[in-house]
Amino acid sequence: MRAPMRSVPSAGGLISPPAPDATGRTGQVTMPEKSPARPASPQVTSCTDDEIWLRVTREVADDLAVDALVRDRAGKPPFDELARLREAGLPALLTPPGPAGRGTGWRTACAVIREIAAADGSIGELLGRHYVLSWSARFFGTPERAEELELRASAEQWLWGGGIDLPDTEPVTGHGLTLTPAEGGYLLHGCRSFAAGVTVADRLVLGAVRTDTDESLVVCVDPAHPGVAAAPEHDRLGQRLTAAGRISFDGVPVAADQVLGAVPRDEHALAPFATLAPLALRLALVQVGLGIAEGALAEARDITRAGARGRPADGRDEGGYPERPGADPYLLLAYGELVTDTHTAAAVVESASEALARGLLAGPDLGVDQRADIAVLVAAAEAVTSRSAMRLTTRVLELTQGAGSAADPLGFDRFWRNARVLTAQASPTTRLRDIGDHYLNGTHPPLTLHG
């Protein structure tokens, strides 16, 4: 049976929770009943598709939150979690504009990623990477090929995995993927590590180099081929359920129609629209980080309500809080700072999300200057959110009085570990440098497919 709606923030910002009842002190801190995050929705005669998707997402998030800690500690491949997403239709939610359009747009997809991540950061990342990779045919291929691929992917609810980032290392080192020309297409060789989808993806989007011309191509591969071998990563510090791992390819056939497009090595030849691919991925991961922070804050609030009542430790009544959760004014101050910090990060992320959504709608007409503005906003969102997520998840461990210990059933260490692994993927210093260079010197961030 599905539990009540969780007390998590929405993509529009923190939702003001209903006031708790004044039942006096509790003798022991226990896991509280999940308080409703939102009041019951009023009866309406109609609603938009986006509203429907958000309602569905909240139900899925509530479902994931019930056993999030148990699943995190088990660390199994997320087949069950993916089944829950498919049951709700979420893998097919994001569909680019055009004749094949059936789902919703980037703004709603961001809200969905953030909501799912608040319940389970790993599944939020898995879904976020999937959404970005689902645009690969639009970024690198023709509209006709993109429409054909999207129709099938939507009908079968494919989960996309892989990545289009081309390693700097040469193929001969064994750390990249190569395409050897063969009859009707190519043979794919090599191995790569990926942060998500290794064991559960239905299709892989990959960047590989032709052995005869050194040309870089983006291809679509079915991981069910016997020449594909996946080795999942076990016992990760955090984000344990993203199905991260390493994939090797031993002579896997790649037909000509599986090639989505070519990637020029000269950045000046890259289309600005194609270089939105890494920016979209970075912003999707920002949504995950923000969701993790909001989820940790909501869970900590529930714990505090259940067990942190009464007067301050020194016996003084500083403001009449005895009937409220957290009678200590310093505890209220701490929560006030964390909520404000989260609101600040959310505002920066919303600005970047809006800019990227406009850029994606512009398509091939996107200009270099517009792309540069988007890159700067995404970099700002990364820098602000990574700091906020780490500060908040660390502070939550303190506020819950060591609830993050391995023996504690509350498991607040999960939020900290997930935030740490996620934020380690990008350096805030590099992002801040790019922002400063753009502001002072008008320098555009490089047009690149590297994150």
Give the mean pLDDT of the chain. 84
Going by pLDDT thresholds of 50, 70 and 90, the confidence category of residue 235 is confident
Lowest mean pLDDT among 21-25, 351-355, 436-440: 21-25
Residue 262's pLDDT band (boundaries 50, 70, 90)?
A: very high
Compute the distance between CA of residue 238 and CA of residue 205 in angstroms, rounded to an integer. 24
How far is residue 287's CA from residue 55's CA, in Å, rounded to a whole number?
Answer: 18
pLDDT band for position 47 (cuts 50, 70, 90): low
Q: Are residues 98 and 217 in the same domain?
A: no
Q: How confident is the model at residue 427 (pLDDT cuts 50, 70, 90)?
A: confident
Q: Pick the more confident residue, 404 or 77.
A: 77
pLDDT above 50: residue 29: no
> Is 362 a domain residue?
yes
The C-alpha atoms of residue 294 and residue 389 are separated, in whole angstroms, by: 9
Confidence at residue 196, expressed as pLDDT on a 0 to 100 scale: 96
Distance from first CA to last CA of the chain, Å, rounded?
A: 41
> Residue 399: is its pLDDT beyond 60?
yes
Closest CA to 236 of 421, 427, 426: 421
pLDDT band at 164 (very low <50, low <70, confident <90, very high): confident
Does residue 48 carry a pLDDT above 80? no
Q: What pLDDT, on a 0 to 100 scale, did the predictor assign at position 426?
A: 81
Task: Give residue-wise pLDDT tens across range 92-141.
Answer: 998 765 444 457 889 999 999 999 999 999 999 999 999 999 999 999 99
Q: Identify whether residues 435 and 404 lie together within a single domain.
A: yes
Question: Would 23 be classed as within a structural domain?
Answer: no
Where a domain ends, among 230, 264, 298? 264
| Residue 382 confidence (pLDDT) | 96
Q: Is the pLDDT reported for residue 26 higher than 60?
A: no
- Higher per-residue pLDDT: 176 or 38: 176
Domain boundary among 248, 264, 280: 264
C-alpha span between 363 and 391 (Å, rounded): 37
Are residues 433 and 287 part of one domain? yes
> Are residue 286 and residue 349 in the same domain, yes or no?
yes
Would 38 be classed as within a structural domain? Answer: no
Asked if 191 and 286 sit in the same domain, the reply is: no
Task: Name the domain count of the chain.
Answer: 3
Q: Per the domain annotation, does 7 fall within a domain? A: no
320 pLDDT higher than 80: no
Element at 213 (helix H, strand E): none
Q: Indicate whether 42 pLDDT > 50.
A: no
Residue 159's closest CA among 233, 79, 276? Answer: 79
- Please tell me the predicted confidence (pLDDT) of residue 400: 83
CATH code of residue 170: 2.40.110.10
Q: For 60-70, how does the pLDDT look when each residue is reduced to its tens digit (9 = 90+)?
A: 999 999 999 99
Residues 154 and 167 placed together within one structural domain of the fold = no
Domain-embedded: residue 8? no
Among the listed residues 267, 243, 170, 160, the one whose alpha carbon sits nearest the alpha carbon of residue 206: 160
Residue 250 sits in the same domain as residue 314: no
Is the predicted pLDDT of residue 435 greater than 50, yes or no? yes
Q: Distances from the Cα of 5 to the Cαs of 10, 61, 86, in angstroms?
A: 12, 8, 20
Quote the pLDDT of residue 44.
34
CA distances from 371 to 75, 275, 346, 376, 380 (A): 39, 8, 22, 9, 14
Does residue 150 share a domain with residue 82? yes
The mean per-residue pLDDT over the stretch 379-401 comes to 93
Domain limits for position 53:
49-159
Q: Return the amino acid letter for 400.
A: T
Q: Which residue among 126, 159, 192 closes a domain?
A: 159
pLDDT above 80 for 193? yes
Q: Which residue has the higher pLDDT, 81 or 46?
A: 81
C-beta atoms surrounding 100 within 10 Å? 18
DSSP 3-state of 81: helix
- Segment 358-383 shows an average pLDDT of 96
- Residue percentage of the chain with pLDDT more than 90: 68
**Residue 15: pLDDT over 90:** no
DSSP state of 444: P
pLDDT of res. 234:
83
